[in-house]
Amino acid sequence: MALQIDFALVFFSVFFFLLLSVAQSVRTFDVRNYGAVADGRTDNQKAFLQAWTDACNQNGFSILYVPRGVYMLGAVEFSGPCKSPIIFWLRGNLKAPMGPSSGAENWIGFQYVNKLLIKGGGTFDGQGPSAWSSNDCQTNTNCRQLPTTLKFDFVTNSRIQHIRSLNSKNTHFSFFECKNVNVSKVEILAPADSPNTDGIKIGSSTDIRISKSRISTGDDCVAILSGSSNIDVSYVYCGPGHGISIGSLGKYQGEKNVNGVSVRKCIFRRTDNGVRIKSWESPIPVIASDFLFQDIYMDRVRNPIIIDQTYCPHASCNQQTASHVQIKDVTYRNIWGISSTPIAISMECSRQFPCKNIVMTDVVLAHFGPQGPSKSVCSHVNGRHFGQHHPRPCF
Ligand SMILES: *[C@@H]1O[C@H](CO)[C@@H](O)[C@H](O)[C@H]1NC(C)=O
């Protein structure tokens, strides 16, 4: 008995001591204490930056806290490195300035931050409807890009969870040179016809996981670009949108390989594409390998499975050669649903670098319409197939 009481006593004092020491080293920086006003009109740029600077220079653990309310916020760059892990706790609603915000590349940037956690159920409202009409990138190749809502550069060992991005002017979230970042329970929303509103763009980054999220937007739900590896997308609902894309690749000099991408347990509803790999016709050499697309439901998707190595979104491209992007080791497993066009599977690989080791197992995609059942078309594909198939594989 006495021993038990002693044990309990020791246990609780250790627990209490731990609690105390944690409590002492956590400090909260409430933006209101820096003069932030939640009236939806006053620009809170200065208050947010000052709160960030203090939180970032604090030893221990810091929380930058944004309470409920609507805060107008001009373009800000939250830079590290910080002295300790930092939580950006957003309960409120941040609103970007109206209009195209000429000059700013990003609305909110985080750079050189290690151990960042963004959470809190709040919203980043890009106010896109006030800017989309100034996007002329469809016709003007020298167009000025509208700002990205959240840009992460050199952010490591971080998590982004339970937040919402609404009506970004351009891309919603973009990652560059990031490592070990988990994104979960985020909601990304913009209308189907909003221009260039990619959901999540990933470039030159490693170990990025996106899960349990909903992405409804006007461009790619997720786009995985040059130099990315070990990217996992799971339990994501995509639609409307242009699907999940690897690429486009082979457009710029010096592009790096992309390898290790898995897309698992996802739903695509009324999207333009499901899972897509795309590359331009150019002599830029890139290897795109080791992809897994598994357990995916397609509901009325225009191009459920597509590899396009003659990618050219404009009327004419400056094609110099067949694509030099080598696609290999790609597995499609357990993919089913409905294609809204007769061509459910389309694989147009490079004639100079044919796709290698494409494996399809249990892929069943139906089409209902006057043009007959679903078809698959392919060129320059080396692959194998197993299990049940509809349409018949074309390789
Ligand atoms: C992200 O998730 C993976 C897999 O669950 C885990 O191993 C990793 O530590 C997580 N990273 C962060 C920064 O939470």
233 is a domain residue: no
The distance from CA 359 to its chain's CA centroid, rounded to whole angstroms, is: 26
188, 244: one domain: no
Q: Tell me whether residue 242 is one of the annotated catalytic residues.
A: yes
pTM, rounded to two decimals: 0.93
Q: What is the torsion angle, in degrees rounded to the nearest 10, for the CA atoms of residue 338, residue 339, residue 343 and residue 344?
A: -60
Peptide bond into 248 cis (omega under 30): yes
229 is a domain residue: no
Of 163, 190, 219, at which residue does a domain stop? 219
29, 62: one domain: yes
**Pocket residues: Cβ below 6 A from ligand 1:** 157-159, 180, 182, 209
2, 150: one domain: yes
72, 124: one domain: yes
Tell me how many domains the chain contains: 2
Question: 224 C-alpha vs ligand 1 centroid, how far in Å?
Answer: 19
Q: Which atom of ligand 1 is nearest to the CA of 158?
A: 13
232 is a domain residue: no
CA distances from 54 to 9, 57, 147 (A): 38, 5, 26
125, 172: one domain: yes
123, 9: one domain: yes
208, 247: one domain: no
CA distance 45 to 56: 16
CATH of residue 387's domain is 2.160.20.10
225 is a domain residue: no
CA distance 131 to 371: 40
Q: Which atom of ligand 1 is nearest to the CA of 115?
A: 13
119, 192: one domain: yes
Of 187, 219, 251, at which residue does a domain stop? 219
Backbone dihedral angles phi then psi of residue 394, each to the nearest 5 degrees: -100, 10
Residue 30, C-beta contacts closer than 8 angstroms, at least 6 positions apart:
51, 65, 67
Residue 380, C-beta contacts closer than 8 angstroms, at least 6 positions apart:
348, 349, 350, 351, 354, 355
What is the domain extent for residue 268? Answer: 240-395
227 is a domain residue: no
For 158, counting Cβ atoms within 10 Å of its Cβ (0-12 exposed, 13-18 middle, 19+ buried), the class is buried
Residue 112, C-beta contacts closer than 8 angstroms, at least 6 positions apart:
79, 80, 81, 153, 154, 155
107, 31: one domain: yes
Nearest CA to ligand 1 atom 7: 180
263 is a domain residue: yes
Backbone dihedral angles phi then psi of residue 108, each to the nearest 5 degrees: -125, 125
Q: Tell me whether residue 299 is one of the annotated catalytic residues.
A: no
CA distance 211 to 219: 19
CA distance 175 to 200: 8
Q: Which of 125, 153, 198, 219 is catalytic?
A: 219
Q: Which of 270, 264, 278 is nearest to 347 (CA)?
A: 278
Strand partners, 148: 106
Pocket perturbation via mutation, ligand 1, pick of 115, 156, 178, 209 by most ligand atoms within 8 A of CB: 209
Tens-binned pLDDT, residue by residue, of the chain (395 aa): 455 555 555 555 555 555 545 555 899 999 999 999 999 999 999 999 999 999 999 999 999 999 999 999 999 999 999 999 999 999 999 999 999 987 789 999 999 999 999 999 999 999 999 999 989 887 887 788 999 999 999 999 999 999 999 999 999 999 999 999 999 999 999 999 999 999 999 999 999 999 999 999 999 999 999 999 999 999 999 999 999 999 999 999 999 999 999 999 999 999 999 999 999 999 999 999 999 999 999 999 999 999 999 998 877 777 779 999 999 999 999 999 999 999 999 999 999 999 999 999 999 999 999 998 999 999 999 999 999 999 999 99
The distance from CA 116 to its chain's CA centroid, rounded to whole angstroms, is: 17
Cβ(254)–Cβ(224) below 8 Å: no
Strands 116-119 and 86-90: parallel
346, 269: one domain: yes
Q: Which atom of ligand 1 is nearest to the CA of 182?
A: 1
Q: Which of 125, 198, 242, 308 is catalytic?
A: 242
235 is a domain residue: no
Cβ(244)–Cβ(276) below 8 Å: yes
296, 150: one domain: no
Q: Which atom of ligand 1 is nearest to the CA of 181?
A: 13
Unique residue bearing structure tokens 């006007």: 218
